[in-house]
Amino acid sequence: MYIIIVGAGKVGYTLAKHLSKEGNDVTVIDKNPEALKRAMDNLDVMCIKGNGTRVNVLQEAEVRIADVMIAVTNSDERNALCCLAAKKLGAKHTIARIRDPEYAEELSMLKEELELDMIINPEREAATEIAQLIKFPSVSSIENFANGKADLVSFRLGEGDLIVGKSISDINLKKCSVLFCAVERDDRVLIPTGDFVLQSNDKVYVIGDHPNIILFLQYLGKYQKRIKSVMIIGGGRISYYLSKLINKFGARIKIIEKNYNKCQELNELLPEAIIINGDGTEEELLESENLNETDAFIALTDRDEENIVSSLFALNANVHNVITKITRVNYNNIVKKVGVESVISPKMLTANKIIKYVRGLKNKEGNFIENLYKIVGEKAEALEFSANATTRCVNIPLKDIKIKKGVLIAAIVRNHNIIIPGGNDTIKANDNVIIVTDRDNVMGINDILLEGGL
């Protein structure tokens, strides 16, 4: 597919990296020569210097033959205008990043009037992700499948954990139906089999429906009831969206923001929250605001370094639920080493949504992609497909299907029920199938089958 990306910032660069890696022809447009040089030096993409709202620039990028146009500049209005112009000039599909909370109520109208195929709001996506994590205070990440009926959760194993030193087949799962999907060990991704022995410091990924995940976490002694108080560092857009979501389940919210004018604005927008004017990287301030009594600590400033420092203070105060926003990929290993497990990356959330959409366009004749998540530090993917008449392995027991190495069929969703599959289970037409794999560019269920493997 031919894809044009307007805006070579953090999100635009991440999108260009992943979409070009998946075999798409990508052209990046930006006015900043340094941003373009970085993309040109590191990625297999074409670069054009210019304003993506200008007709002559779009024509130079051959927008008339573009399958997808993605506008992710730092201006909502410019993104909308880019997509409108691109659609009029012949682009088949358009995606705009629109972030301002003032537009949140009008998104459906904007989408229709501007003929946008997709609107993405990274901050709102990040807030939704954080709200999910708060519901499971003991897990590092949580991804939803089957319209929220199935959860894929990850958590780090400690030395004293019940299942350390056991093979997966020896773990007593009679009371809860879950499946071990992947293990991150020493920066490697492993798709475990029954004889796989779990070790201390493994990060494990487990899938099941919501009640069974809760039962499993209770079995491990990792389940924590709903949080009552939340401390947020930074008063940006994510904090605004998150406070609105948290308020719905009754938690007390405290936001620490060092910009006085922003504090005044938040005080008007969020009457349900306590707004503190101060520096969230000052340990004395955090202690004076009862850091050690908070149930969840969330660092959401615009600077990764500040988020890491304030998160360290929270960990030292024995706050069990610490969530940190990181924008720079090269900080991920540092964050893990200092003990922060729950990391939120708005640009990766955005990239996942758009990659899912693009793969869906490429695979219209095959299995529709319902969900796509990059997991294990982007080394693996969890995907949800809808099986249909083109799926070659329907009505065949899974034990008789030859599947490519590095692939696990994690769950089957049928009539709103989650099936953790065994060898005698089958995939039927209209089932949703959840797959975990370390293979690249999986477009559908047929892509995981060995040739002649039926």
Whether the per-residue pLDDT at 366 is higher than 60: the answer is: no
- CA–CA dist 418, 207 (Å, integer): 10
- CA–CA dist 19, 34 (Å, integer): 21
The residue-averaged pLDDT of 158-175 equals 88
pLDDT of residue 454: 60
pTM score, whole prediction: 0.83
pLDDT digits (tens, 9 = 90+) for 42-77: 999 999 999 999 999 999 999 999 999 999 999 999
- CA–CA dist 234, 184 (Å, integer): 31
Q: Which residue spans within 307-414 are E strands per DSSP?
A: 321-325, 342-344, 368-375, 380-386, 407-414
- Which domains does the chain possess? 2-120 (3.40.50.720), 126-220 (3.30.70.1450), 229-319 (3.40.50.720), 354-448 (3.30.70.1450)
Count the residues in the chain.
Answer: 454
pLDDT of residue 275: 97
Q: How far is CA 85 from CA 71, 82, 96, 111, 114, in A?
A: 11, 5, 12, 14, 9
Q: Is 240 helix (H, G, I), strand (E, B) or coil?
A: helix
Confidence of residue 394 (pLDDT cuts 50, 70, 90): very high
pLDDT of residue 364: 59
pLDDT of residue 212: 92
Q: How far is CA 32 from CA 85, 329, 375, 419, in A?
A: 21, 21, 31, 50
Strands 368-375 vs 417-419: parallel, antiparallel or unpaired: unpaired
pLDDT digits (tens, 9 = 90+) for 330-363: 787 788 778 888 899 988 888 888 988 888 887 6
- CA–CA dist 193, 203 (Å, integer): 16
Q: How many other CB atoms are found less than 10 A from the CB of residue 324?
A: 25
Whether the per-residue pLDDT at 223 is higher than 70: the answer is: yes
Confidence of residue 3 (pLDDT cuts 50, 70, 90): very high
